[in-house]
Amino acid sequence: MADIQKRLSELAAAVDNPKERLEYYLGQGKKVVGCFPAYTPEELVHASGMIPMGLWGAQTEWKEVKRYLPAFACPIMQSNLELGLRGAYKGLSAVIIPTLCDTFRCVSQDWRFAVEDIPMIPVTHPQNNANEGSTDFLVSEYESVLNKLSVITGMRMTDAALEETIEIYNEHSRLMQEFAQTANDHLDVITPAIRHIVMKSAQFYEKAEHSEIMKDIIEELKNMPKHNFTGKKVILSGITAEPTEILDILAEYKIAVVGDDLVQESHQYRVLIPEKGGSAVRRLALQWKNRKGCSLVHEDFKSRGEMLVELAKANEAAGAVYCQMKFCDPEEYDYPICARTLRAAGIQVLQLDIDQQKGSFEQARTRIQTFAEML
Amino acid sequence: MYTLGIDIGSTSSDAVVMRDGRDIIAASVVSLGAGTIGPQLAYEKVLKEAKITAEDIGGAVATGYGRKTCDYAAKDLSELTCHAKGIHFLIPTARTVIDIGGQDAKVLQIGAQGQLMNFAMNDKCAAGTGRFLEVMAKVLNVKIEDMGSLSMKAKEPVSISNTCTVFAESEVISQLSSKKDIADIAAGIHRSVAKRVAGMAMRVGKQPDVAMSGGVALNAGIVKALEEELNTSILVHPYCQLAGAIGAAMAAWEDIREEGKG
């Protein structure tokens, strides 16, 4: 128990202070590249000998960013650009910004002009990933990213390096999947907030390093007697479920998180890079082709609702909390479909506004308490 | 056995004493909410009216915005759960409940047993809430309780924004400057609230019968505007303002029965 707490504290410290992780890697003489959400090809950064570090916003006051974005823009993008403008990301060799929604597209251009000391590398995913030419297109996008990364490193990433990185990333994803399952037997230790910290923390570590920590945590959990959780179980869906105060309110009302469909969390780990399919870069592009059930991926017939029902049933969840990122159009569009499918399957749904900023949580508390009373 | 329910809202404190979860013995409404002496006054008043003492109360449940601050309540429940329970007690046929509170507006979908099935709440915004009405009444220099009767005299209700209290206030001042009839402005304000709340009702799914709870339900102008907006009649019980406290008192009784004491 002492060891697992030590490991969990390490991860919590990384999540609380990512800057320290940045300084740590810079101190080792490594270059670090910031990766905006979501589905950023961080494997290309890793295989180029650099450290990819996730940039998923923060609880920070927006001042400078108001010159570039209206108040009704994505909170993650507001925070990322604000921190960039304030110089908080000093030390990063570049940032990679995918263009998965309208705000991302604006921010990529805002960054180019507003944060001149940190180069911006755009990457465009073919959102209709079922389209025949989508993989070829993404390979060309990844090649373009590699060209820009090579300017930073002064050398071209090799196929062999990417093969090795893919092994590391796939192993890490398997471990994160295993953690998610193992955690459900220990809901006394893995509270909603701790589960979130573990899932998020990987963004601030070199993946092989994070895998070693995860192996310890999983082993420790497996050595502990299973906990008989008597509260209510839910799954989370959305972009993120932050800040942790929201998750603490879930715990306060004896609600455990037994699965997630969060882009910031399980989406990162649920689709492995295929073993076959051509060159390493092409295999990486094929991972995108296998993604579905996400508001950022086009599907003619949305499968997310059915996937959520499956996730809830597999983990005996009575409810689903749809963490609605504020001002996020893609997520707003998906909500009615998901809610209808979940309710038809007898699973209660709570739509909870997420704006990532600290402040009063009384409205969230009322919603969560009501939901707990409904379950 | 007597149980007590107290609904500590942001603008008022309502208390109810019930016997055996069936009969309302006494009720009190004090126009002071959380963080004031309102909750204590409502508590003392309801005990006095019921002619009982604190020792006679078998169980108490608190609800509302200030539900966490009530030290004599055995537990607290969300106001949505309590309003659902309370309205089911008052109007058993109600399946959709609209509750416009001081700080937030809610639409509840309830089942045949009074259980809460689904709900929608306004976001961190005063538009469409009781606070919005208060602000507007102040601008019109009209008592909040007179807004309903005033708006019923409207001939041509004006159009007022339903998205922002601050902008709406400017609009009302502008309408006053244009010498628009005050009754038409009051009706426009009610329509503005109704449009906002009707949007939530449509989201939750409007199922008959539709009822209103909370103090704002006593405003006939709002009820009329909502009926027009939702194209349905709305049931309002004379005890609508007490629905939350009634639900809380009933929950206290249910707990006692579950423990086998009732």
The counts of H helices and E strands in chain A are 14, 8
Q: Kindly provide the b/e burial profile for residues B216-253, where b requires at least 16 CB atoms within 10 angstroms of the residue's own CB.
A: bbebebbbbbbbebbebebbbbebbbbbbbbbbbbbbb
Q: B97 to chain A, minimum CA–CA distance in Å?
A: 15
Whether A2 shows a pLDDT value over 60: the answer reads no
Question: Per-block average pLDDT, block size 10, for chain B (262 residues)?
Answer: 93 93 94 90 94 93 92 92 96 94 87 91 74 84 87 88 72 84 90 88 90 89 92 93 95 89 60
Chain B residues with beta carbon closer than 8 angstroms to that of A369 = 77-78
Q: Kindly list the distances between the CA atom of residue A206 and the CA atoms of A88, A121, A263, B243, in Å, as whole numbers in the listed order.
A: 21, 20, 19, 56
Q: Kindly list the distances between the CA atom of residue A131 and the CA atoms of A126, A141, A243, A297, in Å, as whole numbers in the listed order.
A: 8, 16, 37, 12
Taking the C-alpha atoms of residue B152 and residue B225, their distance in angstroms, rounded to an integer, is 10
Q: Which of B106, B100, B179 is nearest to B144 (CA)?
A: B100
pLDDT reported for residue A96: 97
ipTM of this complex: 0.80
Taking the C-alpha atoms of residue B93 and residue B51, their distance in angstroms, rounded to an integer, is 32
In the chain, the amino acid numbered B99 is D
pLDDT reported for residue B1: 92
Chain A residues with beta carbon closer than 8 angstroms to that of B104 = 363, 366
What dotted CATH number matches B93-236? 3.30.420.40
Q: Which of A148, A195, A183 is nearest to A12 (CA)?
A: A195
Question: CB-based contact (8 Å) between A374 and chain B?
Answer: yes
Q: Which of A224, A308, A305 is nearest to A266 (CA)?
A: A308
Chain B residues with beta carbon closer than 8 angstroms to that of A319 = none
Contact B80 A366 (CB under 8 A): yes
Place A1 in a pLDDT band, splitting at 50, 70 and 90: low
pLDDT reported for residue B135: 83
Average pLDDT over chain A, rounded to an integer? 94
Contact B119 A363 (CB under 8 A): no
Read off the pLDDT of residues A287-316 as tens digits, 9 standing for 90 and up: 999 999 999 999 999 999 999 999 999 999
Q: A312 to chain B, minimum CA–CA distance in Å?
A: 18
Mean pLDDT across the stretch A323-335?
93
Question: CB-based contact (8 Å) between A353 and chain B?
Answer: yes
Give the up-direction half-sphere exposure of residue A359: CA atoms within 13 A in the CB hemisphere.
Answer: 10
- Pairs across A and B, CB distance < 8 A: 31
Read off the pLDDT of residues A247-272 as tens digits, 9 standing for 90 and up: 999 999 999 999 999 999 999 999 99
Smallest CA–CA distance from A353 into chain B, residue: B123
Domain B1-91+242-262 has CATH 3.40.50.1820: no
Smallest CA–CA distance from A326 into chain B, residue: B123
Residue A102's SS3 state is helix
Smallest CA–CA distance from B114 into chain A, residue: A374
User: Which of A252, A370, A375 best probes binding to B when mutated, by most B CB atoms within 10 angstroms?
Assistant: A370
Contact A373 B77 (CB under 8 A): yes
CATH number for the domain that contains residue A68: 3.40.50.11890
Chain B residues with beta carbon closer than 8 angstroms to that of A363 = 104, 121, 123-124
Taking the C-alpha atoms of residue A38 and residue A296, their distance in angstroms, rounded to an integer, is 9
Contact A370 B78 (CB under 8 A): yes
Which of B80, B123, B124 lies nearest to residue A370, judging by beta carbons?
A: B80
Which of A349, A367, A373 lies nearest to residue B121, judging by beta carbons?
A: A367
Pairing outcome for strands A255-262 and A319-325 = unpaired
Q: Which of A240, A291, A220, A232 is nearest to A258 (CA)?
A: A232
Contact A363 B104 (CB under 8 A): yes
Q: Which of B248, B256, B253, B200 is nearest to B78 (CA)?
A: B248
Q: Do domains B1-91+242-262 and B93-236 have the same CATH topology?
A: yes
Q: Is residue A121 within a helix (H) or strand (E), and if so which, with residue range?
A: strand A120-123
Domains contained in chain A, number:
1
Contact A373 B78 (CB under 8 A): yes
Which of A349, A360, A369 lies nearest to residue B78, judging by beta carbons?
A: A369
Which of A343, A360, A363 lies nearest to residue B121, judging by beta carbons?
A: A363
Q: Where are the domains of chain B?
A: 1-91+242-262, 93-236
| Tokens coding B59 | 């169980």
Is A353 inside a domain boundary?
no
Q: How many CB atoms lie within 10 A of CB B56?
A: 13
Residue A147's SS3 state is helix
pLDDT reported for residue A132: 86
Question: CB-based contact (8 Å) between A151 and chain B?
Answer: no
User: Which of B8, B108, B124, B131 best probes binding to A when mutated, by most A CB atoms within 10 angstroms?
Assistant: B124
Q: Tell me which of A75-89, A233-247, B163-177 is least confident.
A: B163-177
Smallest CA–CA distance from B110 into chain A, residue: A374
Contact A366 B118 (CB under 8 A): no
Taking the C-alpha atoms of residue A321 and residue B261, their distance in angstroms, rounded to an integer, is 36
Q: A296 to chain B, minimum CA–CA distance in Å?
A: 24
Contact B123 A353 (CB under 8 A): yes
Is A271 inside a domain boundary?
no
pLDDT reported for residue B34: 87
Question: CB-based contact (8 Å) between A223 and chain B?
Answer: no
Is A328 inside a domain boundary?
no
Chain B residues with beta carbon closer than 8 angstroms to that of A362 = 65
Q: How many CB atoms lie within 10 A of CB B157?
A: 22
Question: CB-based contact (8 Å) between A369 and chain B?
Answer: yes
Taking the C-alpha atoms of residue B155 and residue B137, their distance in angstroms, rounded to an integer, is 19
Chain A residues with beta carbon closer than 8 angstroms to that of B80 = 366, 370
Chain A residues with beta carbon closer than 8 angstroms to that of B115 = 374
Residues in chain B whose Cβ is within 8 Å of chain A: 65, 77-81, 104, 115-119, 121, 123-124
Contact B81 A366 (CB under 8 A): no
Domain residues for the domain of A151 are 28-157
Whether A127 shows a pLDDT value over 90: the answer reads yes
Mean pLDDT across the stretch A125-134?
93
Whether A240 shows a pLDDT value over 90: the answer reads yes
Chain A residues with beta carbon closer than 8 angstroms to that of B117 = 374
